[in-house]
């Protein structure tokens, strides 16, 4: 129930979620690491066998590929990294140009930049389930208007029946994975959270800054669960998240977009922090709810999100969409 963008929950390649065969592959390549501790591209993807292209976007410069890796179903997401301002001088001086056409004052070229300035970000989901494969296939979307009754009778039973795994979230909270990526943490079990970069951000420039605040509380699935009792938690995330980003990235709150998704891509409460002006996937009005609005809505009505209708987009192959159709709600 998410779009084509890369989501945190797709990193099921965390060590405790790999199949035995995939674990073996990871172990065999533990020594193929550079000085920065990163696995070399050759060790991970040299054996990838392409089956099909699930979708691509010329505008976003991404492609989603389905195939096999170590005999396991896998999805590989390739994304061109942004051009950084500090690299412009080297791009202009160290690249070669091949002329495509010239007409009056206009010329177009193929610019061949040095390899280290021509990176492609690769995200690997392995082993990938059928849900992962369907998730990245190009699909038509539909807008659903969910009433409070719809949530109780359609959405909540669907969520409970599916038992979506958030083990990768618990791995982060328990410091079993990605602990080195944490930008800030408030360890309080009720009000606390961890703040870390979303995988969509390469962390090389603040123009496309994207961080996620994940709550230590584990019993809040989504916006629908929020009531007045959660205001201290939300206010703590808002205030300390802004302070941490200002201190770490020198980015003031006036340049941040801070919001929650509904439906979320995974059912553990988390808040998105992106730079204002960066059109992050899922930041549109049909899915994003500003945290400041959420706080004010709960202050005016403690059961605001328990009672009001909420609209959100679902892809054509989403099981929840089928449930709404079967109930005659679409």
Give Cβ neighbours of residue 247 (< 8 Å, ≥ 6 apart).
none
Q: Is the pLDDT of residue 285 over 80?
A: yes
- Tens of pLDDT, residue by residue over 250-280, are 999 999 999 999 999 899 999 999 999 998 8
**One domain for residues 102 and 38:** no
pLDDT at 268: 96
Structural domain count of the chain: 3
**One domain for residues 158 and 285:** yes
**One domain for residues 182 and 76:** no
pLDDT at 250: 96
Q: Is the pLDDT of residue 164 over 70?
A: yes
**One domain for residues 110 and 56:** no
Q: The domain that contains 70 carries what CATH number? A: 3.30.200
Structure tokens at 221: 């699935």
Residue range of the domain that includes 50: 1-81+119-138
- Tens of pLDDT, residue by residue over 169-221, are 999 999 999 999 999 999 999 999 999 999 888 888 899 999 999 999 999 99
**One domain for residues 30 and 96:** no
Indicate the SS3 state at residue 249.
Answer: helix
**One domain for residues 231 and 282:** yes
Dihedral of CA atoms 125, 127, 131, 137 in degrees, nearest 10, equals 50
**One domain for residues 180 and 48:** no
Q: 4 or 155: whose pLDDT is higher?
A: 155
**One domain for residues 147 and 212:** yes
Q: The domain that contains 239 carries what CATH number? A: 3.30.428.10
Interatomic CA distance for residues 312 and 145, integer angstroms: 7
Interatomic CA distance for residues 126 and 307, integer angstroms: 39
Q: Which band of pLDDT confidence, cut at 50, 70 and 90, is reported for residue 42?
A: low
**One domain for residues 32 and 107:** no
**One domain for residues 189 and 213:** yes
**One domain for residues 52 and 99:** no
pLDDT at 39: 53
Residue 29 falls in the annotated catalytic set: no
Chain centroid to Cα 277, Å, comes to 18
Q: Which band of pLDDT confidence, cut at 50, 70 and 90, is reported for residue 281?
A: confident
Q: 107 or 57: whose pLDDT is higher?
A: 107
Of the residues 116, 270, 272, 289, only one is catalytic, namely: 270
Q: What is the DSSP letter of 129?
A: P
**One domain for residues 40 and 168:** no
């Amino acid at each position: 129930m998410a779009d084509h963008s890369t989501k945190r929950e797709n990193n099921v390649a965390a060590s405790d979620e790999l199949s035995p065969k995939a674990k073996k592959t990871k172990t065999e390549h533990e020594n193929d690491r550079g000085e920065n501790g990163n696995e070399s591209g050759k060790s991970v993807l040299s054996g990838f066998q392409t089956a099909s292209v699930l979708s691509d976007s010329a505008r976003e410069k991404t492609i989603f590929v389905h195939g096999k890796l170590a005999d396991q179903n896998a999805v590989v997401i390739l994304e061109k990294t942004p051009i950084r301002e500090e690299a412009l001088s080297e791009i202009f001086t160290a690249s070669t140009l091949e002329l495509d056409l010239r007409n009056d004052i206009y010329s177009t070229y193929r610019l061949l930049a040095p390899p280290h300035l021509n990176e492609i970000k690769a995200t690997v989901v392995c082993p990938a389930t059928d849900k992962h494969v369907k998730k990245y296939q190009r699909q038509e979307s539909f807008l659903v208007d969910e009433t409070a009754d719809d949530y109780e009778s359609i959405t909540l039973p669907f969520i409970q029946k599916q038992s979506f795994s958030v083990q990768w979230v618990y791995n982060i909270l328990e410091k079993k994975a990605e602990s080195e990526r944490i930008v800030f943490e408030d360890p309080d079990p009720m009000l606390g959270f961890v703040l870390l970069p979303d995988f969509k951000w390469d962390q090389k420039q603040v123009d496309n800054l994207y961080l996620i605040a994940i709550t230590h509380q584990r019993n809040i699935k989504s916006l629908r669960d929020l009531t007045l009792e959660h205001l201290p938690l939300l206010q703590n995330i808002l205030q300390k998240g802004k302070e941490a980003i200002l201190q770490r990235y020198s980015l003031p709150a006036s340049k941040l977009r801070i919001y929650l998704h509904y439906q979320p891509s995974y059912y553990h409460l988390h808040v998105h922090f992106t730079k204002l002006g960066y059109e992050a996937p899922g930041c549109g009005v049909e899915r994003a709810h500003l945290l400041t609005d959420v706080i004010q809505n709960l202050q005016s009505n403690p059961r605001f999100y328990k009672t009001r209708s909420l609209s959100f987009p679902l892809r054509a192959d989403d099981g929840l969409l089928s449930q709404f159709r079967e109930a005659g709600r679409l």
